[in-house]
Structure 1
Amino acid sequence: MAMHRLWRRYAGNDFDTAFARMLPQLVRLLDTAQYETASEAVENAPTVMRDLGGFDFEPEYEPDPWQWVGVNGNGWDTIDTMYTPIIEAKAGVLRGWTLDFARYRIEIGMLTRARTCLADTQRSASMVTAKGRYADARPVRVLNPPSCGRCVILAGTSNAGERHPNCDCTVMWSHDVPANAYADPYSYLNDLVDAADMDALARILGSRANVRAYLDGADLNQLVNAYRRKGSVTRAQFYSRKIKYTTEGTTRRGSASYRMISAGYANGFVKHGGRYTRIDRPRLMPETIYEICDRQGRDPKQMLRNYGWIL
């Protein structure tokens, strides 16, 4: 929020002048945030390694948090990174953007880059600290709730690099990734279930119908990955009925394809264009499955299983 207020205080029609005026406060804000973030990571990494793996290693060296100040995760100077939205906005104005929209894009661009910079600072500082204690230390991805579905299914894994814009997941380090990872998706979701926070669950899983399916035993990865590609979940008219379906899991490699064929919901594979062949019937989303079962008095769990939601 500090970044929002800082840009709005100086924003004007001359973007370069506005940036120059805010620069001293911007440098102070980012440098302070980076130093505090790196200091916290350097201090906490040994504790987390001890708690996760039960080992308390003597350090080969002690990192200096100041080494991360002023440098972005890609090696750029932080000021060059924060100036990038100015360049993009000026190019946008030449293409027809209004000044109001350009100022808005600068604000969002600066905020996104600041968040990414701090997230990279935390990851890098914790890594250097961990490696100074144990060279084979491995990352454990940790959620920073509220989290999206894509981040939730990666929680507790060693996949620390796959991130989307504004991703605020952090990384803790251990000599190994434990079986009961420091952060795992199911403990997070179960906390939301216990708190009856259906809105948060719906944001993670895609819809309230998907929450109901998850509670009925649907696989978390299947539900989240249904939205993996833009446009992979859509609505359509199919045999005079409005349905909601996904194209995920419907190729020859998809587990849902063979479930649907075995249940008689699909006949085989056809090529609709593109590089993959897919089954010749849509894979219904849980929302449509529940509508059908509620109307016909059928067991939704069996249909969820036949469409590959319950494994």
Structure 2
Amino acid sequence: MRELLGPDAGAEVDPAQFASQTPDGRDAMGLLARSAPASISAQRRMFSPRAAMARGAAFLDLVVRTVVADTGRQADQAAMVANRGVRAYVRVVELPACSRCIILAGREYGVSSGFLRHPRCDCTMEPVTRRNHPTPLDAEDLFESMSPAQRRKTFGEAGAKAVQDGARISSVVNARKGMDRVEMFGRTVQVTRVGTGSRKKKRPPRLMPEEIYRLAGDDRNQAIQLLYKNGFLR
């Protein structure tokens, strides 16, 4: 971070103050020690010894990866806030990454804005200064650099196909937040309630890309028309 900020980096971050506790204020050693009770609890639920130990190890892996990444970002942000030359920061996302992070790739935020992340998130931030104007890959760039298998794994078969047909990546990803099954057209279909308007003026649920492709079959024109109608294309 000091390399990016240059010779006028401002106040120096004290690493010890960040390493003594987790980013949310909990005792780091106490949190790590919870891996043992996780294994004991699994054994009490009749898991095999091997499975119980694996459960504790998985918890420990989750905690270590998350705390280390969060602490690094917390220290980086403190360094940026302390430097008055930093105007903002951009989110840097590297593959492999989840769909939620990909749609945030390359976005610029105020220097003190919170960093959206999830457990095991390894995204980073890069400062925007007078000398440093980062241009990281955005969601579309990342999608283009992914293999077909990576696209299917990250966005699902229908989601990846919708993006390839021109749908906005953010629309496809956000639609899954409110995914539901309802009776429409005389059958049970997958829909989303995200992006259907305010609570006072709520429009009918939108078809998910999966249902759009099922309804359209091999008719590419109908699929694209339904993508437009359901807000995935504009």
Q: Give TM-score scaled by structure 2 length.
A: 0.79
Looking at structure 2, the residues matched to 103 and 276 of structure 1 have their Cα atoms a distance apart, in angstroms, of 51
Correspondence for 2:160 among 203, 211, 214:
211
Gaps of 5+ in 1: 1-44, 50-55, 254-274
Contact 1:226 1:233 (C-alpha < 8 Å) held by counterparts = no
> 112-121 vs 241-250, which deviates more?
241-250
Looking at structure 1, the residues matched to 192 and 39 of structure 2 have their Cα atoms a distance apart, in angstroms, of 36
Looking at structure 2, the residues matched to 160 and 215 of structure 1 have their Cα atoms a distance apart, in angstroms, of 32
SS in 1 for 2:176: coil
Number of the residue aligned with 1:225: 174
Residue 185 of structure 1, CA deviation: 1.6
Distance 1:79 1:161, change over 3 A: same
Number of the residue aligned with 2:141: 187
Number of the residue aligned with 1:125: 75
How is 1:96-135 mapped onto 2 (pairs within 5 angstroms)? 96-98=45-47, 100=49, 101-134=51-84
Distance 1:179 1:284, change over 3 A: farther
Number of the residue aligned with 2:116: 162
Contact 1:142 1:172 (C-alpha < 8 Å) held by counterparts = yes
Looking at structure 2, the residues matched to 217 and 295 of structure 1 have their Cα atoms a distance apart, in angstroms, of 17
Q: How many residues are paired up?
A: 228
Number of the residue aligned with 1:75: 25
Q: Give TM-score scaled by structure 1 length.
A: 0.61
Distance 1:276 1:148, change over 3 A: farther
CA RMSD, 1 decimal: 3.2
Structure 2 counterpart of 1:171, which letter? M
Distance 1:187 1:298, change over 3 A: closer
Distance 1:137 1:147, change over 3 A: same
- Which deviations, in whole Å up to 9, do the C-alpha atoms of 1:142-192 show, x marking residues without a partner? 21321111111122233653222222212222248x997434222211222
Which is higher, the Rg of structure 1 or of structure 2?
A: 1
Contact 2:62 2:119 (C-alpha < 8 Å) held by counterparts = yes
SS in 2 for 1:244: strand
- Which deviations, in whole Å up to 9, do the C-alpha atoms of 1:20-70 show, x marking residues without a partner? xxxxxxxxxxxxxxxxxxxxxxxxx14434xxxxxx451333335454444
SS in 2 for 1:171: strand
SS in 2 for 1:209: helix
Contact 1:144 1:169 (C-alpha < 8 Å) held by counterparts = yes
